[in-house]
Amino acid sequence: MTYKICVAVTFLSIASYVVGVTCWSLASTNYSNARHHASELKLELERRHFLRFGSIVGIISYGGITGSSPALAVASPTSKSTLKKCTDIESCREIGDQKVKQDLEERPITRLDSGVRFKRLKPGVGDGTVKSGDTVDIIFSISRANGAYMYSKGFGFEKVQEFGVESARLQSDEGLDSYRVQLGKDSGSRDVPSGIEQALIGMKKGERRRIELPPNVGFETSDWRPEPTTRRGKAQIVDYKTILNGRGSNQPPFLAPTIWDVEVLSIRSK
């Protein structure tokens, strides 16, 4: 009798352990999925605000906090006079809604079939526009959808590398301040991602656009060109690849876009 009781107790203990492990595993999976969905929602909100304003943390509907990324300083329509009018959460939200409406009217967002979206930050000059097959000199700054700076060329953010170490001299001071792009190259030999080529079409000399680049027409279409020249930029690319590819069950793959500020310096027609 005692033997049967011991066997029964042992069986119940094992069953309880199995049920506990299963429940813990399911709970962990659900928690991981919930975190992933929350991250997707957060990134979507950040992406929308950054495309409109240049800084997800600098818009007045979030209390007038200013961002620190150098990419955000390129062009942000939120003026200091507007920020002074923001005194509490409700007034900030109201002014923010007005700025959204005004910004969309003054600088509407263009959507392409590929998923690329862009808006003009600065008008160009002259009658000539970029066409397929042209060679253009550009400057650019690349950020993540949340506004985090990745790397750039020509905006004065990058420093010259000397023996693998950043010097105090800026690349722009050394004449390393533009990037040449020939449009219409075959896949794998492009100078910039195909989505950036699409957004360049129609631009004038001196025009600047902010471009939201989805991964399907992103870095992989140009074999990850243009390449960063600094240690920080290279580390940012490694991190971005990790976001795209994921890192196990706790960090599933996520198709995060990047945000590009691109200005055309010159246009050479073929």
Q: How far apart are CA 166 and CA 151, in angstroms?
A: 14
Confidence grade of residue 187 (pLDDT, cut at 50, 70, 90) = confident
Query: Using 50, 70 and 90 to split pLDDT, how confident is the model at 121?
Result: very high
245 with 256: CB under 8 angstroms? no
The single-letter code of the amino acid at 33 is N
> What's the whole-number average pLDDT of the chain?
75
- Model confidence over 207-222: pLDDT tens digits? 999 999 999 999 999 9
Q: For the chain, list the domains and their CATH numbers.
A: 38-268 (3.10.50.40)
The greatest distance separating any two alpha carbons of the chain, rounded to the nearest whole angstrom, comes to 99
pTM of the shown model: 0.66
How confident is the model at residue 65, as a pLDDT? 30
Rounded mean pLDDT, 183-211 = 95
**Which contacts (CB < 8 Å, 24+ apart) does range 26-33 have?**
29/249, 32/249, 32/250, 32/252
User: Which residues have CB under 8 Å from 138's CB, separation 6+?
Assistant: 154, 178, 179, 180, 181, 200, 262, 263, 264, 265
Q: C-alpha distances in angstroms, 66 versus 54, 62, 73, 79?
A: 11, 10, 10, 11
Helix (H) or strand (E) holding 200, with range, is helix 194-200
pLDDT of 12 above 60: no
pLDDT, tens only, 143-179: 999 999 999 998 876 665 555 545 444 444 444 589 9
Answer whether residue 270 shows pLDDT above 60: yes
Segment holding 152, helix H or strand E: strand 149-153
